[in-house]
Each structure stands twice: as structure tokens, then as C-alpha cells.
Amino acid sequence: MVASVSKCRVCREPAIIDLPRHNANFCAEHLLQLCRRQVEKAIADHDMLSLDDRILVAVSGGKDSLAIWDILLELGYRAEGLYIGLGIGDYSDESGGYAQRFADERGLTLRTIDLRGEYGYDVPTAAKVTKRVPCSACGMSKRHLFDEAARAGGYDVVVTGHNLDDEAAVLFGNALRWDVEYLARQLPVLPARDGFPKKVKPLVRLTEREMAAWCIVRGIDYQVEECPMAVGNKHLGYKEALNSIERQSPGSKSAFYLNFIERMAPILASHSRAAAGELVACSSCGAPTTEPDSGDAPVCGFCRLRGRVAGHDPVPVELVLHGGARTAYRAARLAAGSAASPGATADGRTAQ
Ligand code: SF4
Ligand SMILES: [Zn+2]
Ligand SMILES: [Zn+2]
């Protein structure tokens, strides 16, 4: 039996990708249309952005942040980018290159911050000195610097490239622990508050695989490798578990996350303590922070971290990765090319 050539659901031309969760195949043009419409729906449903907003996109050099920057510009939004050099060895050097080339080729404004050059530390060194997982210091640093850049630059909103896979994995982890505080705050929009800018995630209706396909069709060159610090972490494990469920039952992942947002998040809203508590200015950098119980001068988490780790000799990435993660990272680098190829996105499920 000769396998039939799959056809686009919309135009019946040959398809380049099948999307089991939509029970359909799409050609390049209609894949782009689907992605645009999903972003427009997320923006409209959650009142994320207006065309007047000055938008700052958190750019990592990966597919999601470059894709959302591209989509927002296509939709007519005024969006500039900010890239933070985290000092994670070759990974950071390469990711900065992808971000800069994307901006240069399109004549876009990309602001850059070098964590070690401007603040005296990098993520591997912070992880080693604080004896905490790298993502903890990294996440805090990025949040602080994006907030600060948005305030200083007069931006109305910060956009991040978190996609459906990211959000579903975080939700899965929070639900496994029934962490009601975190569940209550897991929303695609965080409103501006007390000096913190509004933050939005317009890709929450789109998967990693769809974003990889967007970049390939649009000719966007992006960093395929995962951050070496992420290899072997819980978040990736949750993604794998959800992908396994998705293979058995296409559509489960989006139902899990999108129905949570629609049905559970309103019920949990009163459990969020985020709205409670007065914030005061950090005595060191001026960023909003919680008032200490001790009566000491308030110092934000970022300034405390910086005070502990700035000035230490740089710690190489390899010293922060444990053996299993190092091995997995090497394997991921070898496999990375196939995840970004058009063949992988067209054959169904390999890059989910
Ligand atoms: S995986 Fe962790 S360390 Fe790497 S960029 Fe993401 S938050 Fe930072
Ligand atoms: Zn089509
Ligand atoms: Zn501070």
C-alpha cells in the first residue's frame, strides 16, 4: 500500500507538519496562520498587549523568544529585545550570537546586559557559591534585570517566550505537590504592580514543536541546544512525562493547561498572596522588595545574591554540572540537529 501524501487541512496542498492535537496537517502558509491566530487569541483572551504599548521581549536566542518577537512585529506591535549574557560557557556565547544576528538582519533594537561584565558574577559561579541549583540564581537575576530594564527604558510590558510545553510542565510540577500558592499565581499575565512591569506570555497556546516549525518556515536561525544547566532537571522530566501522555492521547497537554487557566485559576485566585503585602524600595538598587521583619534596611534578593557572589573567580560550567547531567548534555548536543530539521517537525512526534 502506498502511503498517501498528507494534505493541508485548509488548502489541500501538501502538508509540512502534522499536528495530532488538532487532528490535522498544515502547509507552511497555514501553519504560520495557525500560530498567528493562537497568539492573537492569547493576547485578546487575557488582555495582554495593545498596539500602543512599548514592548520589551526577553530574548534568549532560542526558538521561542525569537519566534514571539517575530510574530509580534508581524502583528504590528512595537517590540524591542533584551538579551542577558548569563556566563554559561559556550552556551551563552552562542545564544548571544543568535539573538544579535536575528536583530541585526532585521534592523531591530536589541539591548544586551552582560552579567559578569556589569554585575561581577555569572550563573555557574552563583550556583557554586550559594550551593543552590543554577536555575534559582539565574531566574532571580533575569527577573530582576528584565524588571529594571523595563522601568529604566519606559517599557509598558515585558514579553517572555514561555510556551504551552513550559507552562504545562510547571503546572504539572505544582499540581504534583498541590502547591496552591504557585498554582494560584501561574497565569499568562502578571499585571504591573508597585514598580514591577506587566509581564505576559503570548505563546501559551503554542507548543515547542510549533515554534520550532515557525522558525524553520520563517528562516529564523536559533540556538537548538538546551541550556546545560537544564539537562536532567525536574522541569525536563515533567515535559517528557507530558509528552508521553500526549502521544497516547493527543490534545491532553493543551487541555490540561488551558482548562486549568479557564476553570481552575479563577477558583484559586483568592489563594494568591501576591497582591498582599506592601513593598518598599531596596536600599541598594531601588527595586521594589518586601520590608524585612528585622527593621534592617530593605535589600532585594538580587542585591543580596550579588553581594554574596560578585568578585568570586569564575567557576567553569563543568564544575557545576553533575556527572549524569554532563553525559546527558553531551548526548543532547549530538541529537540537537535533528530536533530542528523540517523532517523532524513533519514526521509527527519526534520533536514534541
Ligand atoms: S535552564 Fe536554568 S540556568 Fe539555564 S537559562 Fe534556564 S533558568 Fe538559567
Ligand atoms: Zn495550506
Ligand atoms: Zn536591590
**What is the per-residue pLDDT across 223-267, written as a single tens digit (0 to 9) for each?**
999 899 987 789 999 999 999 999 999 999 999 999 999 999 999
Q: Which residue has the higher pLDDT, 326 or 56?
A: 56
Across 30-42, average pLDDT: 98
Centre of ligand 1 to C-alpha 101, Å, is 21
Instruction: Tell me: pLDDT of 339 over 50.
Output: no
134-147 tens-digit pLDDT: 999 999 999 999 99
Specify the ligand 1 atom closest to the Cα of 135: 2
65-84 tens-digit pLDDT: 999 999 999 999 999 999 99
Residue boundaries of the structural domains of the chain: 45-276+312-342
Q: Does 45-276+312-342 carry CATH code 3.60.21.10?
A: no
CB atoms within 10 A of CB 158: 22
Rounded Cα–Cα distance for residues 96 and 80 (Å): 15
Give the strand pairing for 288-290 and 279-281. antiparallel
Helix (H) or strand (E) holding 153: helix 134-153
321 ligand 1 Cβ < 6 A: no
Rounded Cα–Cα distance for residues 197 and 150 (Å): 7
CB atoms within 10 A of CB 277: 9
Residue for grid cell 490540561 = 256
pTM of the model: 0.90
What pLDDT shows up at residue 350?
A: 30
Rounded Cα–Cα distance for residues 231 and 229 (Å): 6
230 ligand 1 Cβ < 6 A: yes
Mutate to test the pocket of ligand 1, among 225, 227, 233 (most ligand atoms within 8 A of CB): 227
Centre of ligand 1 to C-alpha 197, Å, is 22
138 ligand 1 Cβ < 6 A: yes
What pLDDT shows up at residue 19?
A: 97
Ligand number nearest to the C-alpha of 9 = 2
Centre of ligand 3 to C-alpha 126, Å, is 16
Ligand number nearest to the C-alpha of 58 = 1
Could you tell me the pLDDT band of residue 332, with boundaries at 50, 70 and 90?
A: low
Helix (H) or strand (E) holding 17: strand 17-19
Specify the ligand 1 atom closest to the Cα of 138: 8
Instruction: Tell me: pLDDT of 96 over 90.
Output: yes
Nearest CA to ligand 1 atom 3: 135
Q: Are 160 and 65 in contact (CB under 8 A)?
A: yes
What pLDDT shows up at residue 342?
A: 35
CB atoms within 10 A of CB 162: 21
Provide the β-strand partners of residue 57.
Answer: 81, 159
139 ligand 1 Cβ < 6 A: yes
Q: What's the whole-number average pLDDT of the chain?
A: 90
Nearest CA to ligand 1 atom 1: 230
236 ligand 1 Cβ < 6 A: no
Q: Are 60 and 83 in contact (CB under 8 A)?
A: yes
Rounded Cα–Cα distance for residues 96 and 146 (Å): 16
**111 residue type, one letter:** R
Across 36-56, average pLDDT: 98
227 ligand 1 Cβ < 6 A: yes
